[in-house]
Structure 1
Amino acid sequence: REVVMRVLLQGSSSLARAVRSRPALRFSGSAGSRSEAGPVAQYERMVAARELEDDVHQRAALGKLEALFHIILDSGYAPPPPAQVQDPRDSPKSGMVETVAEWARGFGLALGGGSEHPSGVGGAQVSTFGAPKEESQGSIFFSWGSGDSASSASAAGDLCRPPPGAPQGVYLYGGVGSGKTFMMDLFYSCIPVEKKRRVHFNSFMLDVHSRLHQLRAREARQDGIEPLEVVVRELLEEAWLICFDEFQVTDIADAMILKTLFTSLLEKGAVVIATSNRPPEDLYKNGIQRDLFLPFIHLLESNLLVHSIAASSTDYRLLKGADAAEDTYFDSQDVEQRECFDALFQRLSKSSQTQALTLRTQGREVQIPRASLSTRVARFSFLELCGKAVGAADYIAIGSAFPTVFIEDIPRLTLKDLNQIRRFIVLIDTLYEAGVKVICLAAAKPHVLFVPPGG
């Protein structure tokens, strides 16, 4: 219940903001020392300029990123070309084993793409037949004689062998609005690495699944290499320093490939930074076949420096969004405020004719019931966005197409509405990440939108 409430508050803080704003961060190429160009120095300059409030918890977390900053620069680290890294998993399978394994993976389970799977990947292929042994243990298809897969979790993490000199990444977790994303972005803006990527975790996994789908559609294999290994090589050719925002796992299709995906990334020299609201041990909690996911948790804990900033109780996004909320959050129970909501939609759409549209993305069609093409403003009811099988891929498409989104008739929510709550969380998180201006008409203020049991 507390987790749901915290994330709803996270969403409400971003809903209340007229436009998402982040400080302009630039790397200085002057002849000063690296310490003066690092994230801590940038932070101190912003505190001195009163752009930020000094926070001891943020400083402690930023110190971990500062250390990584200097390790990368002082060592001149760069991973070897991915194709030159020999991996025993690259050896081709042969004959009947490969044929049957491909059939089993293609058969898979028809999961994903619905309310329970917010990454929006339809028809997930999650059979583990033919996968490495540590991933196939406990499979619902081939679990006999495998032993206790949970007990193998710790041993599985030791199988990851990063190249010599590869810096250890960082996993930051803590309460919403505590500054995790800001600190990661500060590091990202300061580090003078050409091949770097900053990406929302949902978007990254959608990209991975899309690449896998394209490879399988073309039946493309490179010298017998597994499709996921081909994707890893492509990713590392583009960026070896990868910063993930909002690291979370809610989709079984993601959960079943993460161990192999991240093992390969780390063994080929990737440096990973991640922010999350959850500690690693709480990822994919209560998920389907979670015992198969446990080795990935150990992989994170063994190969990334895990740091908690949970002690910071200040939600800076709520503070910044307080004033803006007056213009973006309306009470649906108040006739006058409902009229103001409608009037604002008319003003921002410049009273142009609205129409229904269809967006096409990832092989899916996203219905937009009301939109102004001239001003790129869209309007939805809560049920249109959260009351049916809509996922992150759909929300990403909406956020990419429309800088302003109106959401009306948001009800008070209880634990009976868990699927709608999950979709709402993913929706707000995705629109926030895209910098979308969100205007809401809701049945209650953000902090009381969720009704706890007995409340």
Structure 2
Amino acid sequence: MAPQALSQAQRLADRSPSITGPEIVAELVPPPQFEHASFESYRPDLNFPSQLEAVERLNTFAGAWLPQRPGGFFSRTRKPKAELPGIYLDGGFGVGKTHLLAALWHAAPGPKYFGTFIEYTALVGALGYAATVKQLSGARLICIDEFELDDPGDTMLMTRLLGELVASGTRVAATSNTPPNSLGEGRFAAIDFLREIQAMSANFEIVRIDGLDYRRRDVEGHAIAVPRDELDQMVPALLERGSAVTRDDFGSLIRHLSTVHPSKYIKMIHGIDVIALTDVYLLTDQTDALRLVAFIDRVYDAEIPIIANGQPLNEVFDQEMLSGGYRKKYQRSQSRLVALTTGELPPHD
């Protein structure tokens, strides 16, 4: 039974999806785990007052959409004066920036969009610049999670796009990704961001969010690596239950990711319940590692558990990477890999 069942497992390496502009637009909503995110459901760490201050500041930012209440000139019910059209959440990973960004999105009237930096640049690639401006024009709010500073060309493309949209009345909210060497643990990410967007800088208010990664206990733990014979038994058992399972050699997946644009990773994992990876090993090429980080971000958003054998997945980034310019990205991915391999596998409906 086992060999036959194993043959039914799909391979991520066989998936080379295409993605259209309308499909990207349809995905510009918060990830499933933030479907009901609100300011009330955010749990600030009281040891870091900036977290509660960020909630209050975003509530004020969202207040600009509230209808003006009747009242005289000196009435306290008057709508507050117009504020800057952009707000930028600057902080380390795991402090709840995405939760707060999604909460703001839920509080805003439509039309509105929520996506990662990669998704917006992919939209420009799919539709062209002018068509993207037309598609997004009229939006009340555009949320950009993890504004990338890795690629100056893409950064300037996005700032030009945002400049046009802000000029037309759209409001923008973004989070940072603490770029090369994190330049002071994220604090100077905001400065780099403002430098990149040049004339746009006057449109953004910076909101600093200090704190520790809420997954820090997971970071101190380890991703589960199961013995190969155990993985060989788990895959057919999951298939027998009706779960959609992919099974890939880790090296094959890494090579395949280099052939698929990161904007398409979400379609690679569409309809998958569990991902199985065999013979996981230490990565020494930073380009491969960054692709894996982008892929794991999509897997984490989709809440797809991973079973793997070989090197524990949170240990696939070598020490040079973990001490280099993108260490914050790798640390975030490590915590996500621990969560994905230690969580209970979802039961089949």
Is TM (by shorter chain) over 0.5? yes
Partner residue of 1:392 out of 262, 273, 279: 262
* Matched residue SS, 1:315: coil
Give the direction of change, closer, same or farther, for the CA distance of 1:297–1:438 in structure 2 (3 Å limit). farther
With over 3 angstroms needed to count, the CA separation of the structure-2 counterparts of 1:387 and 1:173, relative to structure 1, is farther
Match of 1:176 in 2: 93
Amino acid of the structure 2 residue aligned with 1:347: A
2:272 is aligned with 1:406 = no
Match of 1:58 among 51, 71, 88: 51
Contact 2:33 2:301 in 1 (8 A): no
| TM-score of the pair, normalised by structure 1 | 0.51
Counterparts of residues 361-440 of structure 1 (less than 5 Å): 375-387=243-255, 389-390=258-259, 391-414=261-284, 417-440=285-308
Aligned partners of 2:88 and 2:207 also within 8 Å: yes
The equivalent residue for 1:274 is 174
Please report how far the alpha carbon of residue 73 of structure 1 lies from its aligned counterpart in structure 2 after TM superposition.
1.9
Which residues of 2 match residues 152-163 of structure 1 at below 5 A? Answer: none
2:158 counterpart residue number = 258
**Paired residue secondary structure (1:261):** helix
Instruction: Identify if the C-alpha distance between structure 1 residues 304 and 412 changes in structure 2 by more than 3 Å, giving closer, same or farther.
Output: same
Contact 2:244 2:274 in 1 (8 A): yes
Counterpart for residue 214 of structure 2: 316
The corresponding residue for 2:66 is 73
Tell me, in whole angstroms, the C-alpha distance in 2 between the residues paired with 1:271 and 1:21: 24
The 2-side partners of 1:206 and 1:349 are apart by 34
Residue matched to 1:347: 237
- Could you tell me which runs of 5 or more consecutive residues in structure 2 were left unpaired when the two chains were aligned: 1-30, 70-80, 184-192, 324-349
Q: Look up the match of 1:235.
A: 136
Q: Tell whether the 8 Å contact from 2:274 to 2:305 is kept in structure 1 after alignment.
A: yes
Q: Residues 394-450 of structure 1, C-alpha deviation per residue, up to 9 Å, x if partnerless? A: 312213342432233221234xx111111111111122233333333341462x443
Q: Summarize the Cα distance change of 1:277–1:254 in structure 2 as closer, same or farther, 3 Å threshold.
A: closer
Is the Cα–Cα contact under 8 Å of residues 244 and 273 in structure 2 kept in the other structure? yes
- CA distance, structure 1, for counterparts of residue 202 and residue 238 of structure 2: 50
Deviation at 1:236, TM superposition (A): 2.1
Q: 1:392 to 1:183 in 2, by over 3 A?
A: same
Q: Structure 1: which 5+ runs fail to align?
A: 1-18, 27-38, 77-163, 213-227, 284-292, 352-373
How many positions carry a matched residue from both structures? 269
Identity %: 25
State the secondary structure of the residue aligned to 1:413: coil
Partner amino acid, structure 2, of 1:202: I
Distance 2:216 2:122 in 1: 29
SS of 2:319's partner is: coil
Cα displacement string for residues 347-399 of structure 1 (whole angstroms, at most 9, x for unaligned residues): 22228xxxxxxxxxxxxxxxxxxxxxx63322222222323523313312213
Change (3 A) 1:249 1:349: farther
Shift of 1:241: 0.5
CA contact (8 A) 1:169 1:272 kept: yes
**Are the structure 2 counterparts of residues 441 and 175 from structure 1 closer, same or farther at C-alpha, using a change threshold of 3 Å?**
farther
1:337 aligns with 2:330: no
Shift of 1:179: 1.0
Local SS of the residue matching 1:384: helix
Counterpart position of 1:29: none
Superposed CA RMSD in Å reads 3.7
1:172 shift after superposition: 1.0
Q: Secondary structure at the match of 1:246?
A: strand
Q: CA offset at residue 206 of structure 1? A: 1.4
Q: Under a length normalisation based on structure 2, what TM-score does the superposition of the two structures give?
A: 0.64
The answer (yes or no) to whether the contact 2:156–2:196 under 8 Å persists in 1 is no
1:209 is matched with which residue? 125
Helix, strand or coil at the partner of 1:197: strand
Q: Which amino acid aligns with 1:264?
A: E
- 1:106-121, aligned counterparts within 5 Å? none
CA contact 1:408–1:440 (8 Å) conserved in 2: yes
Q: 1:182 deviation in Å?
A: 1.2
